[in-house]
Structure 1
Amino acid sequence: MNAALARLILAHVCVHACMAGTRLAAPLLALSQGYGAMPVGFLLALFALTQVFLALPAGRYADRHGLRRPVIYAVVAAVLGAGLAAVFPIYPVLCFAALTTGGATGVASIVLQRHVGRVAEGATQLKQVFSWLATGPAFSNFFGPFCAGLMIDHAGATAGALSGYRTAFAAMALLPIVSWLLVRTAKELPRIPHVPGAAKPRVWDLLHEPMLRRLLLVNWALSSCWDVHTFVVPILGHERGLSASLIGGILGAFAIAAAAVRVIMPLLAERLREWAVITGAMVATAVLFAVYPFLPTAWTMGLVSVLLGLALGSVQPMVMSTLHQITPEHRHGEALGLRLMSINASSVLMPMLFGALSSLIGVAGLFWIVGAFVGGSARGAWLLKPPADRTL
Structure 2
Amino acid sequence: MFPPAPLLHLILVSLTAHLALAGSRITTSLYALSLHASEFTVGILISLFSLFPMLFAVFAGRIIDRSGIVRPMMAGCVAIAAGCALPGMMTGLPILYLATILIGTGFMVIQVAAQHTVGAMSDDENRATNYSWLALGFSISGFFGPVLAGLIIDHAAHRIGYLVFGGFALAALALTALGRVSRIRMPQQREDAAGNAFDLLRDRDMRNIYLVGTLLSSAWDLFTFVLPIHATHSGFSASTIGLILGCFSSATFLVRLAMPWISRHATEWQVLAFALVLAALCYAVFPFMRQPLSMMVVAAILGLAVGSSQPNMLALLHHAAPPGRAGEAVGIRVTIGNACQVFLPLAFGGAGAALGLTAVFWGMTAMIGAGVPVAWRKTALAKTE
CA contact (8 A) 1:79 1:177 kept: no
Aligned 8 A contact 1:59 1:333 in 2: yes
Q: Which residue of 1 aligns with 2:327?
A: 333
Do residues 133 (structure 1) and 140 (structure 2) align?
no
Q: State the SS of the aligned residue for 1:225.
A: helix
Q: Is the 8 A contact 2:282 2:302 kept in 1?
A: yes
RMSD between superposed Cα atoms in Å: 3.5
- 1:312-323 equivalences under 5 Å are 312-323=306-317
1:351 aligns with 2:353: no
The separation in 1 between residues aligned to 2:144 and 2:48, in whole angstroms, is 21
Deviation at 1:177, TM superposition (A): 2.0
> What's the CA shift for 1:291?
4.0
Pair 95,118 (structure 1): closer, same or farther in 2 beyond 3 Å: same
Structure index of larger Rg: 1
Conserved 8 A contact 2:244-2:296: yes
Residue in structure 2 matched with residue 189 of structure 1 by the alignment: 186
| Letter matched to residue 53 of structure 2 | Q
SS of structure 1 residue aligned to 2:185: coil
User: C-alpha deviations, 1:172-217, integer Å up to 9, x for none?
Assistant: 452232331234443212313313xx7x511110110011111111
Change (3 A) 1:242 1:270: same
2:196 matched residue in structure 1: 202
Partner residue of 1:51? 53
Distance 2:32 2:338 in 1: 23
AA aligned opposite 1:270: R
Q: How far apart are 1:58 and its partner, in Å? A: 0.4
The one-letter code matched in structure 2 to 1:191 is Q
Q: Which residue of structure 2 aligns with residue 77 of structure 1?
A: 79
TM superposition shift of 1:235: 5.6
Letter in structure 2 aligned against 1:19: L
The runs of 5 or more residues in structure 2 that have no matched partner are: none
Structure 1 residues 356 and 84 mapped into 2: Cα distance closer, same or farther (>3 Å)? Answer: closer
Q: Confirm or deny: 8 A CA contact 1:152 1:168 kept in the other structure.
A: no
Kept after mapping to 2: 8 A contact 1:22/1:172: no
Q: Distance in 1 between matches of 2:226 and 2:28?
A: 23
Query: Compared with structure 1, are the counterparts of its residues 271 and 94 closer, same or farther at alpha carbon in structure 2 (3 Å cutoff)?
Result: same
3-state secondary structure, aligned to 2:189: coil
- How do residues 1-392 of structure 1 correspond to structure 2 at under 5 angstroms? 1-23=3-25, 36-37=37-38, 42-83=44-85, 94-122=96-124, 124-144=125-145, 164=160, 167-168=163-164, 171-180=167-176, 181-195=178-192, 200-233=194-227, 241=234, 243-244=236-237, 248-294=242-288, 298-358=292-352, 363-385=357-379, 387=381, 389-390=383-384
* Amino acid in structure 1 at the alignment position of 2:74: I
1:186–1:271 CA distance, 2 compared to 1 (3 A): farther
What is the CA-CA distance between 1:288 and the residue it aligns to? 3.6
CA distance in 2: counterparts of 1:93 and 1:296, whole angstroms: 33
Greater mean deviation of Cα atoms: 63-72 or 334-343: 63-72
The CA distance in 1 between the partners of 2:149 and 2:242, in whole Å, is 18
Post-superposition CA distance 1:20-54 (Å, at most 9, x none):
3444556667778x684576654443222221112
Change (3 A) 1:271 1:329: farther
Query: 1-side partners of 2:184 and 2:17: how far apart?
Result: 19
| In 2: Cα distance, 1:19 partner to 1:373 partner | 26
Given that 2:6 and 2:180 are in contact with CA atoms closer than 8 Å, whether structure 1 keeps it comes out as no
Look up the equivalent residue of 1:331 and give its one-letter code: R
**Residues 144 and 172 of structure 1 are in contact (CA less than 8 Å); yes or no, is this contact kept in structure 2?**
no
The 8 Å contact of residues 206 and 317 in structure 2, kept in 1 or not, is answered as: yes
Unaligned stretches of 5+ residues in structure 1: none
Residue range with higher mean Cα deviation, 57-66 or 145-154: 145-154
Q: Which amino acid aligns with 1:353?
A: A
Between the aligned partners of 2:187 and 2:369, the Cα distance in structure 1 is 42
Deviations 1:72-97 (A, max 9, x none): 33233334444566566676655443
Kept in 2, the 8 Å contact 1:63–1:331? The answer is: yes
Deviation, 1:320, is: 0.5
- Structure 2 Cα separation of the partners of residues 98 and 271 of structure 1: 41
Q: Secondary structure at the match of 1:340?
A: helix
| Native 8 Å contact 1:132 1:266 kept in 2 | no
Q: TM-score, normalised by structure 2?
A: 0.83
Pair 145,186 (structure 1): closer, same or farther in 2 beyond 3 Å: farther
Deviation, structure 1 residue 338: 1.1
Cα deviation digits, residues 289-336 of structure 1 (max 9, x gap) = 444445575544432332221111111111101101111131111111
